[in-house]
Structure 1
């Protein structure tokens, strides 16, 4: 399933939907019409576990083409939000997780050229999350080096504490797309959260694709363009630490809970690694995506 959080009007609360062709099916309303209780929000749905995915999938297959009244909206008539508009805790970010990005970062950002022995973990607060078409905020008094990083996002489905690598993938609910926006000149004594955690620095979406639809998340193309010009193109197969390793490592000391998000790192092609270096500025439009999930678009807008 491709699951979204959508709304009809700006003042509306986000609602859980599934994309079927060019329609959004409201899962709570579909459940009400068929006698299968389903929740109205993404986090509540994830909390229900694998049985909810099975029930919803079966309902969508059974009712397709004969939707109960009031359960569907044309996709063109709704606004998609971030699939989890506000995570319960910080997004887990992974730095330096593609070999060529490690090489370019060593040249341009004074990071080590050696392969890390363990995953490099940082975080982005829930207030950093924005959805499709929402603006990335550029505050010139804060940064002159605003950079892009397209990433595969992993959404946790069941609680994971001290999980073995061989058991880790069973804890994945699904996958999405995230842009790790980074103010390169805001790193503080090696600490990255201010550089990467400011408001609007975690564009996320446009949907969550459930794990059953992506049997091999380590073979997905990902790409990014700025103003139509390609800047990044690679494949998740080039991750240095694979998803099962990331889940095992994080859960060794911090419990992962349903709805937690891990942004798995970016490939080469970031602005800091270019010669000359390139940055995002007001008026730029960033488009990016991951194969099998979807595409995001966000404009860069001046504030301050």
Structure 2
């Protein structure tokens, strides 16, 4: 199932994408993605029942898609999680996962514009697989971690490189407004046979910048859940972005930073494509 958050006739709702139309959640189902995920398997079953009962379809042309989780309670990323990316940065392989926080106000949807801020031109892309937590959980063992993942989506961990280096936490450089493109939908975990065997590609305009497989991650999705949940309670709607492979703009010669007028396109096998234009920050 491809779960979406969308606006139709001025109202926000969630639903499932079926071909090129949406079946909106109705009846007693929540109209918010975090509440829908928190409602558990029964909510998903009811939405499937509505799909099977030939509930009305809303054409995609009549809606505006938002990020699948527009304001996650937690939005975490992991650094240095692909060996080829570590190699291009000249750093050592980390002994433990290196997590950082992206502030949820950075989240934008597929098709929305990434802003190059007035205070920096060093804006970089990072194509990444992200997963969304579906159950409130703590101290999850690795072999049970798949049970708390609701599904998978695409994230562009846009980074302002000079601001990133101003603090060891990286948070400011990772959290500028519009620097968390996510979507276009959330593919439920049962639709992904193996999240650690998905092709990932990133283009800037027509230039292929990144090409990798999620199997190349050093710490996989389940290990991330186990590690994080030792420290904090994970909740429905929390988003964890799983790191980027080699090919980021900061390591190109000359630098391949994003410029207004360009478009970033990230494709992940079995999920879809996340596309965002780049513009100068509006006054």
Same fold per superposition (TM over 0.5) = yes
Deviation at 1:57, TM superposition (A): 2.3
Tell me what 1:77 maps to: 62
Q: Distance in 1 between matches of 2:97 and 2:260?
A: 33
2:231 counterpart SS class: coil
Q: Cα distance 1:105–1:14, how it changes in 2: closer, same or farther (>3 A)?
A: farther
Cα deviations across residues 16-65 of structure 1 (Å, max 9, x unaligned)?
Answer: 0111111111112xxx3xxxx312121111010122223322432x22xx
Deviation at 1:299, TM superposition (A): 1.0
Pick from 5, 15, 18: which aligns with 1:17?
Answer: 15
Q: Distance in 1 between matches of 2:212 and 2:41?
A: 31
Q: Distance in 2 between matches of 1:49 and 1:17?
A: 15
Deviation at 1:287, TM superposition (A): 1.1
Any residues of structure 2 matched to 1:164-175 within 5 Å, and which? 164-175=141-152
Pick from 97, 100, 117: which aligns with 2:84?
Answer: 100
Contact 1:105 1:272 in 2 (8 A): no
Tell me what 2:239 maps to: 261
Q: Distance in 2 between matches of 1:189 and 1:175?
A: 30
Taking only aligned residues, the RMSD between alpha carbons, in angstroms, comes to: 1.3
Q: Which 5+ residue runs of structure 2 have no aligned equivalent?
A: none
Any residues of structure 2 matched to 1:1-304 within 5 Å, and which? 1-9=1-9, 12-28=10-26, 32=27, 37-60=28-51, 62-63=52-53, 66-67=54-55, 71-88=56-73, 90-106=74-90, 112=91, 114-141=92-119, 143-186=120-163, 187-303=165-281, 304=283
Deviation at 1:105, TM superposition (A): 1.6
Cα deviations across residues 85-116 of structure 1 (Å, max 9, x unaligned)?
Answer: 1112x30101110100111122xxxxx2x211
Q: Distance in 2 between matches of 1:218 and 1:191?
A: 27
Pair member with larger Rg? 1
